[in-house]
Structure 1
Amino acid sequence: MTPSYANRRDIRQLGINPHCWYVVSSSQEVTSSPVGVILWNQPIVLFRDTQGKINALEDRCPHRQVKLSHGKAIGDEIECTYHGWRFNGGGDCVYVPYLQENQKPPKCGIKTYPVRELYGFIWIFIGEEKPDNEPLEIPEWEHLNYIATVATIHTQAHYSFLVENLMDMYHGHLHQNWQAWTEAQLDYITETDNKVDAYYEAQSYYKIDKIWSISQLFFRSLRQLHPERLTVSYIYPHWYSTLGEDFKIYCLLCPISVSETRAYLIHFTSLNAFWRLHKLPIKFRKFIKNRLFGCAKKMLDGLVAEDVKMIEEEQRAYQNHPQRRGYELNKAIASVQRVMKKQAIAN
């Protein structure tokens, strides 16, 4: 998993730190049928057992090397669609339909991966050692004062392009129809071996301070510019941002290969300003939270589509002329590049 010497010199060829938790799927995407995913060139199959627990195995039947994700879940096992061989959650072959009475299933176990289901997502750990850290915390997911919207990012580009896009708040110029902020000015940066915090001063289009304020997500005419602190943070390998007191966004990354990245963007709208709402029964507040889930979907999808177009153009430009380097003025980009290199090379 450690990049070669040549890769260490080129951020666009950089590998990943395998000793981290990555998000490979939303919980909703894994139901009764197995789902195949890829995390940094490693095909993985996810399936639920009879208790609803997620299992993560190498997506390969050791018999003929076909994908187990083509098969189906039977009880607590996954069955290969080719010959009907079955494997348990521990990766052991437990059944072959045409074994004779004196035969036992072959000892041809396949690799398993530590897996967690948290905050509506499936997290995978592909490091060789047992994980000694936890997935990124997302306390707003269950908090009754935050309304969530989820969008998927799937781009044919190296993950570094996406991380740089997320850290660069000067590109609000791109999002003329969807932007939540404008006039960003970088104030200062803090940096450690695994984290970068960039603090911007900006003008926000949204203010969630009255009961009708959430309608600003739908009607542009109701928006009014006002100053807000805009903070973006890269906690390797994921990202989050806050815009004033009203909005928080997470981006959970799944690098697929050197030229493909998948990620989940979670946008939270805060209801903290509505103190009367906090006094209502818990059941009703849960109803409101669930009923408003996805309320910012149109805006989020619009932002993602515009960003992906630019990111993929950057990737193509790099592939056509890898020796060219851009003229970067945002110091936050240099900071996240240093962190990505430290994490990938050191591990």
Structure 2
Amino acid sequence: MLEQENPSIRTCPINRNHWYVVARSCEVKAQPISITLWYQKIVIYRDQAGMIHALEDSCPHRLVKLSQGAIVGNEIECAYHGWRFNGEGKCTLIPYLNENQKLPPCQIRSYPVQELDGFIWVFPGDKNYLNQESVQPMGVPEWEHLNYIATVSIIDCPSHFSFLIENLMDMYHGHLHDNYQAWTSAKLQNLSVNLNRVDAYYDAQSYYTIDKIWSISQLFLPPLRRLHPEPLTVSYLYPHWVSTLGKDFKIYCLFCPVHETYTRAYLIHFTSLHAFWRLHKLPIWFRRWIKESLFGCAQKMLDGLVRQDITMIAQEQEAYLNSSAQKSYELNPTIYQVQKLILKQAETV
């Protein structure tokens, strides 16, 4: 059935009552970093014990960025006048305070934050929702699993987040990717929808079979690839995305919508080593060495996919900004359900 796009999908906000990924763990070192999560400026930093904290990136004194300051012990110090704040956002020190003066009762917002599976997750919403089972971080269990080799590509996309998630859920654009594509000839077989997710099940042809030690070379040597049928599943687990292609590959996309026309996301590609049963009998330290040594082995392929997709998505956003009233039609029922889910989630804001 032919469906017309709902124009409000391109301006709707995120549902803040979810966990969003704002950085890789390795990005947060000795210096604080500034991130933006749906118009909210946040400073992320590690204290001397290595614990992660997330605060409003604004000193209440002169409203300058705390992220330009420094970490002193377990606190963050403003670069301007040296005011310090603890992980709860409370002012603990003003260097020039007189004996007859008290610390002002200023309080900056602190955000629930977790370091999980190699990434920093922030909850920007109402803290009363934190204990709900449906509002837990999705997690990436393959990150530490010794049978999975990871590659990470950062997506900086000049568009509303809906354009990016629709691209990820649409398996009919494989010919765009030339030698970078992992699949072809996708045919939608089934579609499952509930309150927080959309699952699309495709029959497809995969270019890869990871069953021999040299099979990894298929990721960067196209002549070695051979087509064969594999099931392809793509799922929107609001606000993130995950996909599996047969038994060999799993991909996540973890979202950090910046504002209405810009989205940052982390695309994580996992190549499975489950087929190598002899490898599983080797010492743990050796298997971990293999996992770490092969990290990023699919970088060229993944970065190539991202570049090509961003080119198309940027054009979609530009066309919308130039003529938001122009009709756009969608034939894929998966995209229609994704749009409904995004709009439904936005209603709870």
2:46 matches 1:48: yes
AA partner of residue 239 (structure 2):
P
Task: Identify the residue that residue 25 of structure 1 maps to in structure 2.
Answer: 23
Counterpart contact for 2:154–2:264, Cα < 8 Å? yes
State TM-score, norm by structure 1. 0.96
Report the 3-state secondary structure (helix = DSSP H, G, I; strand = E; otherwise coil) of the residue aligned with 1:173: helix
Residue deviations 1:241-292 (CA, integer Å, cap 9, x gap): 0000000000000011011100000000000000000000111101101111
Cα distance in 2 for partners of 1:300, 1:105 equals 51
Cα distance in 1 for partners of 2:224, 2:179 equals 14
Correspondence for 1:207 among 199, 206, 209: 209
Counterpart contact for 2:7–2:325, Cα < 8 Å? no
Task: Identify the residue that residue 14 of structure 1 maps to in structure 2.
Answer: 12
Task: Mark the runs of 5 or more structure 2 residues left unpaired by the alignment.
Answer: 1-5
Task: Identify the residue that residue 340 of structure 1 maps to in structure 2.
Answer: 342
Q: How big is the shift at 1:142?
A: 1.1
Task: Identify the residue that residue 313 of structure 1 maps to in structure 2.
Answer: 315
Report the 3-state secondary structure (helix = DSSP H, G, I; strand = E; otherwise coil) of the residue aligned with 1:160: helix
Task: Identify the residue that residue 5 of structure 1 maps to in structure 2.
Answer: none
Report the 3-state secondary structure (helix = DSSP H, G, I; strand = E; otherwise coil) of the residue aligned with 2:127: coil
Q: How big is the shift at 1:9?
A: 6.0
Task: Mark the runs of 5 or more structure 1 residues left unpaired by the alignment.
Answer: 1-7
Report the 3-state secondary structure (helix = DSSP H, G, I; strand = E; otherwise coil) of the residue aligned with 1:339: helix
Cα distance in 2 for partners of 1:26, 1:335 equals 30
AA partner of residue 141 (structure 2):
P
AA partner of residue 290 (structure 2):
I
Task: Identify the residue that residue 67 of structure 2 maps to in structure 1.
Answer: 69
Cα distance in 2 for partners of 1:71, 1:50 equals 15
2:227 matches 1:229: no
Correspondence for 1:189 among 181, 188, 191: 191
Q: How big is the shift at 1:91?
A: 0.5
Cα distance in 1 for partners of 2:182, 2:13 equals 32
**Residues 118-197 of structure 1: matches in 2 within 5 Å?**
118-130=116-128, 131-132=130-131, 133-197=135-199
Report the 3-state secondary structure (helix = DSSP H, G, I; strand = E; otherwise coil) of the residue aligned with 1:11: helix
* Aligned length, in residue pairs: 340
Counterpart contact for 2:199–2:233, Cα < 8 Å? yes
Cα distance in 1 for partners of 2:15, 2:303 equals 29
AA partner of residue 123 (structure 2):
F
AA partner of residue 123 (structure 1):
W
Counterpart contact for 2:235–2:242, Cα < 8 Å? yes
Runs of 4+ in structure 1 deviating by more than 3 angstroms, as ranges, are none
Q: How big is the shift at 1:211?
A: 1.3
AA partner of residue 341 (structure 2):
V
Report the 3-state secondary structure (helix = DSSP H, G, I; strand = E; otherwise coil) of the residue aligned with 1:312: helix
Cα RMSD over matched residues? 1.0
Cα distance in 2 for partners of 1:156, 1:212 equals 38
AA partner of residue 48 (structure 1):
R
Report the 3-state secondary structure (helix = DSSP H, G, I; strand = E; otherwise coil) of the residue aligned with 2:297: coil
Residue deviations 1:113-132 (CA, integer Å, cap 9, x gap): 00000011100001123312
Task: Identify the residue that residue 4 of structure 1 maps to in structure 2.
Answer: none
AA partner of residue 232 (structure 1):
V
2:35 matches 1:37: yes
Task: Identify the residue that residue 3 of structure 2 maps to in structure 1.
Answer: none
State TM-score, norm by structure 2. 0.96
Report the 3-state secondary structure (helix = DSSP H, G, I; strand = E; otherwise coil) of the residue aligned with 1:164: helix
Correspondence for 1:271 among 260, 270, 273: 273
2:293 matches 1:291: yes
Task: Identify the residue that residue 97 of structure 1 maps to in structure 2.
Answer: 95
Greater shift, 95-104 or 171-180, is seen at 95-104
